[in-house]
């Protein structure tokens, strides 16, 4: 038996146990669990799209009369689903007809994974140039060649395991995808083995935003171009892929953009949905989170004929709000000014460096950008200065405190370009005061200050047992040093 075949058989057996949580209900309630032999309706199978190292199937929906240079959306199904199920219920074909873009529906099968999950947890499948990830990018290349798709407006979205693969693709191929949308999914590179997959689903690693961001930056080392703009969809009652994953995704991608974790704006949308927007240095949405109150595991849809409706309710296509519509608007597929894609103006300044610190100041320098009239300096996601030169000293800072800075070039019209990668400066002397949070055990886990194991909650760092994982037990946690939490119910002092 060839080694490649043996490896796939091993993955099939091992993943049955590891990913059972992710697909248990899908595999018993979804009528489309078996691989499609022939696509339905306007969905067409495409063969010969490349060497296909991940052994995937390619399906495509193209509206009649689609013009060249149209956008392209790649839509990834969840475990035990098919391309046809996603085509039928996700709403993307409706929006493609309305707005004019092509949709590719990759499909994996039980030949790859016993539960037909995309391999978001497997470095042989989800990293640049390898396995399923490489096959999906070959599908994108085929669509560009055969349909004339716009290389600057390629987007990827997915549900559950497809959402995990979406995050991995954005990290591995930021030069291919202008934006992404992760629905009930996992942070990029949350798991790098089958044994770690289930742990990510119930509670991802307790990492700082910078550590999460490093997992993205490690996907394509040396990449210096613009980052994809990312939408994150999550139900608050999802007990298959827990809401803590949405928090980790937010931390990951805001850190990559260097914009901090405090939203620029929040608003209430239909379906008990709260949208939080995190703007880039130019004031445009770079990351958006959509929290759907009371929703379980699935893709939010909203059947109907209204302007903001789309999709079809089915198993794991949940009637709440049309996530595909709001994601499409975020990307600018409706013809509006996009939050994602399009021209990002001047390039990011290179060589951003911390040149010195004192107990109250942090000094930065960077290389000049051709065409820049000035620069925008942001500290922890907030604009603090607009120097005309290539150096800046931030003053009046507390001692012993770490700050993250990004710099963007601004042209003569006042348009800020792509922000630089973040750099961290820590003022000297002193020590930062302890931070404390009082919340339910459920909220502490959701915020990333604690984690679950066997139905109990444990403080990150110290491992202190906080009791049952529910909304009835409340504790105060003190953080000192960063990432290390202890129970401080008797009072929080430095």
Catalytic residue positions, numbered = 160
Report how far Cα 206 is from the mean position of its chain's Cα atoms: 16
Distances (CA, A) of 271 to 45, 185, 241, 319, 455: 34, 19, 20, 8, 29
Burial of 1 (0-12, 13-18, 19+ CB in 10 A): exposed
Distances (CA, A) of 14 to 113, 122, 126, 261: 9, 12, 17, 37
Q: By the 8 A CB rule, do 291 and 183 touch?
A: no
Q: By the 8 A CB rule, do 148 and 68 touch?
A: yes
Strands of 147-284, DSSP E: 154-159, 179-183, 229-235, 265-269, 273-279
* Contacts within 8 Å (CB) and 24+ apart, 321-325: 321/269, 321/270, 321/271, 321/273, 321/290, 321/292, 322/91, 323/91, 323/181, 323/183, 323/233, 323/290, 323/299, 324/90, 324/91, 324/92, 324/95, 324/157, 325/91, 325/95
Burial of 334 (0-12, 13-18, 19+ CB in 10 A): middle
Token couple for 50: 């490349």
Count Cα atoms within 13 angstroms, Cβ side, for 229: 28
User: For residue 275, what are the β-bridge partners?
Assistant: 267, 290
The secondary structure of the chain in percent helix, strand, coil, rounded to multiples of 5, reads 25, 25, 50
Cα 9 to Cα 227: distance, rounded to the nearest angstrom: 36
Comparing CA positions, the residue from 246, 263, 149 lying closest to residue 204 is: 246
């Amino acid at each position: 038996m060839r080694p490649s075949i043996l490896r796939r058989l091993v993955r099939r057996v091992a993943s049955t146990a590891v990913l059972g949580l992710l697909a248990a209900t899908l595999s018993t309630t979804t009528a489309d669990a078996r691989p499609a032999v022939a696509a339905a309706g306007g969905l067409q199978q495409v063969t010969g799209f490349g060497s296909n190292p991940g052994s995937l199937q390619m399906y495509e929906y193209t509206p009649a009369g689609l013009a060249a240079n149209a956008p392209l959306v790649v839509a990834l199904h969840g475990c035990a689903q098919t391309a046809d199920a996603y085509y039928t219920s996700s709403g993307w074909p409706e929006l493609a007809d309305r707005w004019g873009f092509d949709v590719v529906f990759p499909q994996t099968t039980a030949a790859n994974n016993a539960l037909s999950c995309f391999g978001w947890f497997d470095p042989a499948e989800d990293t640049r140039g390898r396995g399923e990830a490489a096959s999906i990018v070959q599908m994108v290349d085929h669509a560009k060649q055969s349909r004339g798709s716009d290389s600057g407006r390629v987007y990827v979205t997915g549900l559950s395991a497809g959402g995990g693969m979406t995050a991995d693709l954005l990290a591995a191929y930021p030069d291919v995808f202008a934006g992404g949308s992760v629905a009930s999914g996992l942070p990029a590179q949350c798991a790098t083995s089958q044994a770690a997959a289930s742990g990510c689903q119930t509670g991802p690693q307790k990492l700082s935003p910078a550590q999460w961001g490093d997992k993205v930056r490690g996907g394509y080392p040396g990449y210096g171009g613009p980052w994809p703009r990312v939408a994150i969809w999550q139900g608050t009652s999802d007990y298959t892929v827990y809401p803590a994953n949405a928090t980790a995704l937010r931390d990951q991608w805001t850190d990559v953009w260097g914009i901090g974790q405090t939203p620029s704006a929040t608003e209430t949308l239909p379906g008990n949905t709260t949208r939080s927007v995190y703007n880039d240095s130019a004031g445009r949405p770079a990351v958006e989170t959509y929290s759907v109150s009371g929703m379980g595991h699935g893709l939010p849809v909203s059947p109907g004929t209204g302007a903001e409706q789309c999709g079809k309710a089915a198993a794991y296509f949940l009637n709440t709000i049309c996530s595909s519509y709001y994601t499409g608007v975020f990307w600018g597929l409706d013809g509006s000014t996009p939050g994602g894609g399009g021209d990002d103006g001047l390039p990011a300044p290179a060589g951003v460096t911390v040149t010195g610190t004192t107990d109250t100041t942090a000094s930065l320098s960077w290389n000049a950008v051709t065409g820049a009239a000035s620069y925008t300096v942001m500290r922890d996601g907030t604009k603090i200065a607009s120097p005309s030169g290539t150096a800046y000293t931030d003053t009046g800072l507390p001692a012993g405190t770490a700050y993250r800075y990004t710099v963007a070039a601004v042209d003569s019209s006042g348009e800020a370009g792509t922000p630089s990668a973040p750099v961290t400066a820590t003022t000297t002397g002193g020590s930062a005061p302890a931070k404390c949070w009082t919340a339910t055990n459920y909220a502490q886990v959701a915020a990333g200050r604690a984690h679950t194991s066997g139905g109990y909650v444990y403080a990150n760092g110290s491992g202190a047992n906080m009791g049952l994982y529910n909304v009835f037990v409340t504790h105060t946690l003190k953080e000192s040093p960063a990432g290390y939490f202890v129970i401080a119910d008797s009072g929080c002092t430095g």
